[in-house]
Amino acid sequence: MDVSTCLKSLLLAIRQYRNNRSALNASQLQKHIEDVSGLKCGGVLFSGQVLPSECLSGLMEVAGDPNTSHVLTGSIISLLAQFASDGEAKEALHSSYNFTGTLAAIIHCNRSTPEEPLVLQCLNVLQRLTYNVRTLHCASHIHELISFLMQHVQSNNDDIVKACLGLMANLCRHDISVQSHIKSQSNVKAFYRALINFLGHNCLTVVVFALSILSSLTLNEEVGQKLFNAKNIHQTFQLIFNITVNGDGTLTRNYAVDLLVDLLKNPKIADYLTKYKHLSVCLSEVLGLLHSKDPDTASKVMELLVSLCSVPVLRKLVCETILRPPAPRLQPGTRKGVQARGSEPSLALVHWVTSPLDGPEQCYMQALSLLAELFEEAIDSSLCSSAQSFVELLLQEVLGLLQSPDSTEGDQMLKKRCLRAGCVVDFLLVLCGDDALRMLVSQRLSPEVCVSQVELLLSYSQDLSGSTCTTSNYHLSQVCSEVVLKTLELMSHLRQQMPDMETSFYRILQDQRMVTPLSLALTSNCREHVQVALRMLFEAAPLPNFPSVILGDSIAANNAYRQKDSELSIRSISANEDVSFVGKSFPTVHAEPSGSAYQSIDSLIEKLQNGVEEKVRDVHMSEIIDVYEQKLSALACKEGHLQDLLEAKARALSQADRFIAQYRRQRAQAEAEARKLASLLKDTERKKEDLQTELNDHLLEVERLKSDSQQLLEHNSRLQAVADQHQELKGTYNQLLSRYDKSEGMLKELQAAHISLNQQAEGLRKTNEGLKLQQERTLAEVADKEQQIKSLKTDVQEKERKITGLQNDLRRHEEQIHEMEENISILRKELNKTEQARKDTSIKASSLELQKSQLEAKLEKMEEELGKHTQMIAMIHSLSSGKLKGDITANLSL
């Protein structure tokens, strides 16, 4: 079953369930949801077409209904949660379909039973959906969601606590309205105390969440200044680096890196980090993570390094660590994983820069941004020459990324390729800041690569402007225009070293297709884009064939579009504020400078204000409406574009007539001025002859003055040489005098040391003789003790032999007892005697064992004394050998 058929069946099941909420319809809807979840249809669902939009709006309405069963709601949330990791789908769920408000409403409806699995599922999906995305404070049920999170951070369920803290960290980050709302709550102090208590939690994820919330809320307040002061901040740094290097999960590492990035924006904390004593070791271990095979981990590490480069001192340290020639930086106590990662993070950066386009987009973008930061620092420092070999290796890989994009690729791949090409050009522009590196780039980069890329992007941008005016086409056209202008700026830097590049540069500037990139950049809200466009306009304005009139008309049209866009945005916002929660069946459409967007938004506002809900009852009819809407919007866009071109041509013709009349007037004025200049030229020639004679007299006088000054300079140089010799002799005399004083002082010190060493040697000789006598006595005592030990051993052996004999006798008596059982009554007395003898024998044996243990204890004491004596003998020998070496060294020094 294809995607279109599945979506039609899903929409029909949604309508049947909304008309009749029976168990059969609910099961049918759940079955269709499972069928759609098994298909990879994210691109179709969020394409903006009518059928997928109606399906998503219907699913939102069913999930947001409090009467819907938890099982069905959970299935819908699971289906939509699959797309929370995709960037465009996440943005559409967040902004166009208000998925955040729907989940917040579900949590609000189930606030009395927070232990429900549905609540935990909503919290986890919200945490993924709001990560690095700003939530509108005016969205539905956001205040209730914040109150729920503040209330349940102290829950007994660890999963609920972790999800609440993670979601709260996302909402608080970079959102002043949410922070102000939390601070205005009555229980904010208790909330702060709970967060501070979480800093001692055994789960590192909880600790990072709590620190992130506290940094967002209290960093610039008294609580934050106490929490992140000079005493505690070093522990925070160590915790963040430990989690970044040794963290088991990507989630905890991402939040730890985000926390450090946010803290570095505070100048005081950034200064604390520069003084952190373990920073170099931590930085080396963090750089080891670049060798990881996980692109998400590498991307987050590079994001951390880019943020470190925002601090000048840290940027220098990062640059030296990465670009310095490889040296062993690992400590003996590092983990095995770190040791196996390698010691050259620069090679890992090259690997991530050349990663494939279908991988994570942030990975190669962050790698190129980091390289640009590093080489900006290297150019300003002394590392540029040492990193030249690395630049040669890097250019071989990077220049291969500037290959011309294939027009047969999809829009998504083309956008990724253009974004990466823009970052590559930014990096090459940084390299052009140094003369040697610019020469290296000019040797490796051919003009054909730049020209082919610009030509293809210009033609593709032209096709986009002439096709259907959709949001994706508008954004893609902007990206292509930015890459074109950056490539032209690179060509302007390299045109002095490459003559062919200069010719191509001026030829492209006079192309009429350059109007679109220049007009988009000049009307952009990005400062860098405007500056690049102004630099290119400064180069292109004096050229004869530059289309300045068309550029002005295009800029005026863009300004008109932006003004209309802002008016429509204000109208849509005011209309959305008056709409109830039932109006979710109509997805919010963002206004872009296109006719289809304007018409759809106007119709949507009219429907919402009149309170009319028009539903398409037939799926085929919705598809037909979608097709005709697209055709009408394309025709309207083309008609507006042609009207703009006609107006531009008319203005160009009128301007040409004005230029012709102006040229005739200027020519008559020029002829009159030429006649005046001819008369002035004759007067100046006469004055020139008079001045020439005066100049010859002055030149003769100057020659005489030069000869006199030359003689004075020679005499002055001879005097200066004599003065220099005098100063040199005076300096050598002072040096010799100071050396003599030092030598005399050293001689006196050595004599005093010699006398003291002689006295010490005499004392050591006497102690050595006494120790020798003591050693002889000790050896004699040791020999006596050894003889006693031997005699005791022989006695013990004899007694053991007697014991064995007695035991043998005892065995024989027992055998006799068994043989003489018939005479047991007669021989009982003898048996008692034998028993008594056996007891005496055992008593004697136990006494002998006791004597044996005592003798062994004495033997151990003797051995301990013997060990002490041997240690004393060794000390005596070492002292005597040390004294002899001291005498020898003293004699040698004297």
| Amino acid identity for residue 409 in this structure | E
Q: Rounded to 5 degrees, what are φ and ψ at 848?
A: -65, -40
Determine the Cα angle at 745 with ends 742 and 748, to 5°: 150
Q: Which of 123, 125, 136, 145 lies closest to 177 in space, CA to CA?
A: 136
* Cα dihedral sign, 233-236-238-241: negative
pTM across the whole model: 0.62
Given this model, what pLDDT does residue 600 score?
Answer: 44
Other beta carbons within 10 Å of 360? 15
If one counts every other C-beta atom within 10 angstroms of the C-beta of residue 678, the result is 9
Q: Are 204 and 245 in contact (CB under 8 A)?
A: no
Q: Is 514 exposed, middle or buried (0-12, 13-18, 19+ CB in 10 A)?
A: buried
The larger pLDDT score, comparing residue 621 to residue 318, is at 318
Q: Which residue in 49, 63, 124, 131 sits closest to 94, CA to CA?
A: 131
CB atoms inside a 10 Å sphere around CB 261 = 16
Specify the pLDDT at position 203.
87
- What are 564-577's pLDDT values in tens digits? 766 655 554 444 44
Categorize the per-residue pLDDT at 85 as very low, low, confident or very high, splitting at 50, 70 and 90: low
| Best CA proximity match to 369, nearest among 320, 302, 285 | 302
Q: Evaluate if residue 512 carries a pLDDT over 50.
A: yes
Where is pLDDT greater, at 85 or 522? 522
331 pLDDT above the threshold of 70: no
Q: Which of 844, 846, 604, 587 is nearest to 51 (CA)?
A: 587
Contact 591, 556 (CB under 8 A): no
Residue 804's CB is within 10 A of a number of other CB atoms, namely 9
For 36-50, 378-392, 498-512, 798-812, which range has the lowest pLDDT when averaged over its residues? 36-50
For a pLDDT cut of 90, what percent of the chain falls above it?
Answer: 4
CA 438 to chain CA centroid, Å, is: 28
Chain centre to alpha carbon of residue 353: 14
pLDDT in tens, 45-84: 676 677 788 888 888 888 888 888 888 888 888 888 887 6
Q: In degrees rounded to 5, what are phi and psi of residue 58?
A: -65, -40
Q: Which residue has the tokens 């979601």?
A: 167
Q: How many helices (H) and strands (E) does the chain have?
A: 35, 0
Q: What is the mean pLDDT of residues 531-542?
A: 88
pLDDT value at residue 164: 92
Q: What is the Cβ-side half-sphere exposure of residue 712, based on CA atoms within 13 angstroms?
A: 6
What pLDDT score does 213 carry? 92
Cβ–Cβ < 8 Å for 11, 62: no
Cα separation, 75 vs 811, in Å, equals 88
What is d(CA 216, CA 176) in angstroms, rounded to the nearest whole number?
9
Neighbouring C-alpha atoms within 13 Å toward the C-beta of 788: 12
Cα–Cα distance, 219 to 196 (Å, whole number): 13
**What percent helix, strand, coil does the chain show, rounded to 5?**
80, 0, 20
| C-alpha closest to that of 168 among 551, 439, 155 | 155
pLDDT of res. 29:
86
pLDDT exceeds 80 at position 96: no
Q: How confident is the model at residue 626 (pLDDT cuts 50, 70, 90)?
A: low
Residues 802 and 671: their CA atoms lie apart, in Å, by: 150
| Cα separation, 31 vs 46, whole angstroms | 21
Q: Is the pLDDT of residue 722 over 60?
A: yes
Across 836-850, average pLDDT: 86
Instruction: Supply 249's token pair.
Output: 């999960």
Kindly tell me if the per-residue pLDDT of 816 is higher than 80.
Answer: no
CA–CA separation, 759 vs 795, rounded Å?
55
Residues 764-810: tens digit of each pLDDT: 988 888 888 888 888 988 888 888 898 888 888 888 888 888 888 88
Q: Which pLDDT value is given to residue 212? A: 92
pLDDT at 338 over 50: no
**How far apart, in Å, do the first and last CA atoms of the chain sit?**
102
The answer to whether residues 450 and 492 touch, using CB atoms and an 8 Å cutoff, is: no
At 581 the pLDDT is 36
Confidence of residue 708 (pLDDT cuts 50, 70, 90): confident
Please tell me the distance from the alpha carbon of residue 573 to that of residue 588, in angstroms, as a whole number.
10
Distance of alpha carbon 63 from alpha carbon 221, whole angstroms: 41
% of the chain with per-residue pLDDT over 70: 82
Looking at the predicted structure, is the pLDDT value of residue 343 above 60? Answer: no
Residues 756 and 55: their CA atoms lie apart, in Å, by 101
The pLDDT tens digits of the residues spanning 664-684 come to: 767 777 777 777 787 788 888
Please say if the pLDDT value at position 101 is more than 60.
Answer: yes
Q: What is the pLDDT of residue 165?
A: 92
CA angle 794, 796, 799 (to 5 degrees): 110
Main-chain phi, psi angles of 739, to 5 degrees: -65, -35
What is d(CA 468, CA 873) in angstroms, rounded to the nearest whole number? Answer: 101
Residue 276 CA to residue 240 CA, distance in Å, equals 13
pLDDT of 427 strictly over 60: yes
179 Cβ contact list (under 8 Å, min separation 6): 172, 216, 217
Average pLDDT rounded to a whole number, residues 172-176: 87
pLDDT of residue 42: 63
- What amino acid is encoded at 444 in this protein? R
| Alpha carbons 827 and 821: distance in angstroms, whole number | 9
Please answer whether residues 172 and 178 qualify as being in contact, where contact means their C-beta atoms are separated by less than 8 angstroms. Answer: yes
Is pLDDT above 60 for 334?
A: no
Q: Higher pLDDT residue, 642 or 535?
A: 535
- Pairwise pLDDT comparison (221 vs 358), residue with the higher score: 221
Q: Taking all residues of the chain, what is their mean pLDDT, rounded to a whole number?
A: 79
- Where does the pLDDT of residue 630 fall: very low under 50, low under 70, confident under 90, or very high at 90 and above? low
